[in-house]
Amino acid sequence: MAILVTKEGFAPDDWAEGSILPFDVFWTGQDLPEEGLAVAFPNDRDAADLRPWLARLELIRVAFPAMADGRGFSIARRLRAMGYTGRLRAAGPLIADQFRAAQRVGFDEIELPESLAGRQPEEQWRPRPSLSYQDRLAG
């Protein structure tokens, strides 16, 4: 089971609207649900590939196969620039230090594997006051 990290802290996955469909299903021509439409979007595709469905998508789950693979950040920024206002989720083994960057590019939440959430407890994900360089030097 995955753990969600939000600005409020850890939470269980509350996506109860339906299943998160793999992106390939969108190109098959099959009927898609009218409500609760969600997609698992790979990080090796162009965000513009979602343009035909942006208005209907309630959740886009962007894959992060590795902590060091930052392509998902670019996808999030591009989706927000294209006008996507729905829920945007990063999914994968991100670390607490990446949470602020994820929020800056438009992610609402991060879906962590339970094993990683156990190694990086909730208090590590909480926002810390941002001190200036001079403030840090002054101690």
Could you read off the pLDDT of 56-80 as tens digits, one per residue?
A: 999 999 999 988 889 999 999 999 9
Give me the sheet containing 21-22, strands edge to edge.
Answer: 9-12, 2-6, 109-113, 87-91, 57-63, 37-41, 21-22
In the chain, the percentage of residues whose pLDDT exceeds 90 is: 57
Could you give the CA distance from residue 57 to residue 66 in angstroms, rounded to a whole number? 25
Q: Give 41-53 pLDDT, tens digit per residue.
A: 999 999 999 999 9
Residue partners of 12: CB distance under 8 A and separation at least 6 = 1, 3, 4
The two tokens of residue 126 are 């909480």
**Sorting pLDDT into bands at 50, 70 and 90, what band is 130?**
low
| pLDDT reading at 133 higher than 90 | no
| pLDDT reading at 112 higher than 70 | yes
- Name which residue leads in pLDDT, 108 or 123: 108
User: What is this structure's pTM?
Assistant: 0.87
- Residue-range domains of the chain with CATH: 2-138 (3.40.50)
Could you give the CA distance from residue 133 to residue 109 in angstroms, rounded to a whole number? 28
The two tokens of residue 123 are 């208090």
